[in-house]
A and B are shown apart, each in its own frame.
Chain A
Amino acid sequence: MMEQKILPEAPVQIEMSNVDKRFGNNVTAVQGMSLQIREGEFVSFLGPSGCGKSTALKMISGLLSVSSGAISVNGHPAGQSIDGSDVGYVFQEATLMPWATVFDNVYLPLKLQGLSRKEAGPRVREALDMVGLAKFSASYPRQLSGGMKMRVSIARAMVTKPKLLLMDEPFAALDEMTRFKLNNDVLDLWKSQGLTVIFVTHSVFESVYLSSRVIVMAARPGRVVHDIPLPGGYPRTGEYRTTAEYAETCRLVSNALEGTMDNVDINH
């Protein structure tokens, strides 16, 4: 496996400048969020429930508008990329169409781009292979386990070969074994496809295992309180979880997160 290094001079892919999001009910979900994410980074958004992680992700994808400030993705304002294939989005739930087979669910993004089943076939199968579900392409979602559904959802996000993969707590509802397995799958994908990943999670351990950088957020109002580049190199395997470095990094990130819970801003 190749060693992935995020060069400091890699071009900036996502730029958030002073972004606010206020909802109609006067909730400030995100306040003053400024962030630069470079191509090829694996960034985790970590924070307590309600701190605006999902909101931030939705604004980056263009599904939500900003109240003030600006977000640019691949040089375009968020949500205005030229085609819909630049961004892959994995929702917290698998969000599959129950009436369609696994194949048709993964085929959907390509179908919406106007590709015929025949043209798209090899790419769909490749994506299913990647998540180890090639054998299930004719199954319906109800015939799959929760973890398998999640993998279909990841295959669907990957089938357009996006430059940016946004994942909103994709494994929150899964057992630890499945989660570890999917963690490694995502890392493999990231390495082999050279993507940028933003990964929303509640779990310190998950964020430290996966990311090259952790953004710690606090609630009321939702904001970034820490931006922690992680020391650990890649590739990471299950063994990495037993190293002293991993334990130490977890402790560091954990402390940073705890600070947000007391509403103490450690930056000052």
Chain B
Amino acid sequence: MKTADPALQAMLRERNLRIIMPIASILAALGLWEFLVWYNDVPHYLIPAPSLIAKTLIQDWATLAQSAWFTVKLTLLSLSLAIAGGVLLGMLFALSRTVEISLFPFAVILQVTPVVAIAPLILIYVESTFWALLICAWIVAFFPILSNTAIGLRSADHNLRDMFRLYQATPWQRLRYLLIPSALPYFMAALKIAGGLALIGAVVAEFVAGTAGQNTGLASRILESSFRNEIPRMFAALFLVSVLGIIIFLTTSWLSRAVLGHWHESEIKREL
């Protein structure tokens, strides 16, 4: 191609930049880490080199993958339940001021009480550990979805509301064609936050539970390794938690762009 379109070139450059730069900087950090550990002869039970962590990851892959899968299940299930509950209750709040005023205190109490503080209680009352952990993660992820959905459904432009009234829209049409689209940007913002929180909730609750055994998540692997002084394994599990968090972040960001990209300010790329 001889006549290169400058706008296209700029776009390609920008995309390369956005992919290459983060990878390059992470690789550089890992390289520096590796070098410093080697150069200073740091013992692996203090700070293991990245190469050793990678080796541990491969060696212990069977147990680590199983634990990761447990944490993924816990996170996704709690996030789904938070979305379902938050959206339903948010709609109810938007429909009825009375319901909102009477139930909002409970939502706030759930939100402000640290999950580490409630987790022991929940673990006592709920027999199945999985369900107890699920409830803890759900509590953390639920509130942002609820409050943003409720605010979003109220945020429709008042002239558009008037227009729907003028054309005698049914309540269902109003919800479907006006309130839900208006609420989507708020909901998407909440989803990005709640996705990360669900993972944090899942990990923190498992720390509190301190469960051991086969069917447990990454937090248990970290605890277990710490008891046995297997620092490289601890880092390997920690690495997997971060990867999960990054995947959740990228997925929710992508989803938000896919849903809002063609119209909402937050996701539009402006042409200058």
Instruction: Say which size band chain A's interface belongs to.
Output: 20 to 34
Q: Do residues B177 and A87 form an inter-chain contact, with CB atoms below 8 A?
A: no
Alpha-carbon separation in the docked complex, A58 to B163 (Å): 11
Question: Quick check: B263 and A112 within 8 Å, CB to CB?
Answer: no
Compute how far the CA of A186 lies from the CA of B166 in the bound complex, rounded to whole angstroms: 21
B169 within 8 A of A: yes
Q: Are A93 and B159 in contact (CB under 8 A)?
A: yes
Are the C-beta atoms of A63 and B162 separated by less than 8 Å?
Answer: yes
In the complex with contacts A99-B181, A99-B263, A112-B169 CB distance below 8 A: yes
In Å, the complex CA distance between A63 and B162 comes to 7
Choose among A98, A113, A140, A142 the residue with the greatest number of B CB atoms under 10 Å from its CB: A98
Asked if A108 is at the interface (CB within 8 A of a chain B CB), the reply is: yes
Encoded as 1 (CB less than 8 Å from any A CB) or 0, chain B from 156 to 193 comes to 01011011111111000100011001001000000000
A98 touches B167 (CB 8 A): no
Provide the main secondary structure of the chain B interface. helix
The one of B159, B164, B173, B263 in contact with A98, judged by C-beta atoms closer than 8 angstroms, is B263
Which chain A residues lie closer than 8 Å to B178 at the CB level? 97
From A63, A100, A140, contact of B166 by CB (8 A): A63
Residues of A within 8 A of B168 (CB): 83-84, 112
Q: How far is the CA of A1 from the CA of B268 in the complex (A)?
A: 45
B contact residues, total (Cβ < 8 Å)? 20
Interface residues in A44-102 by Cβ distance below 8 A to B read: 58, 61-63, 83-85, 87, 89, 91, 93, 95, 97-100
Question: Which chain A residue has the least Cβ–Cβ distance from B169?
Answer: A112
Contact of A95 among B160, B169, B181, B184 (CB under 8 A): B160
B173 CB contact (under 8 Å) in A91, A99, A112: A112
Residues of B within 8 A of A (CB): 157, 159-160, 162-169, 173, 177-178, 181, 184, 262-264, 268
18 A–B pairs (Cβ distance < 8 Å), ordered by A? A63-B165, A84-B167, A84-B169, A91-B162, A95-B157, A95-B160, A97-B181, A99-B184, A100-B181, A108-B177, A112-B164, A112-B168, A112-B169, A112-B173, A140-B262, A140-B263, A142-B263, A160-B167
- Identify 14 new A-B residue pairs, CB closer than 8 A, beyond the known A63-B165, A112-B164, A113-B167: A61-B166, A85-B167, A89-B166, A91-B162, A95-B157, A95-B159, A98-B263, A99-B184, A99-B264, A108-B163, A108-B177, A111-B177, A142-B268, A160-B167
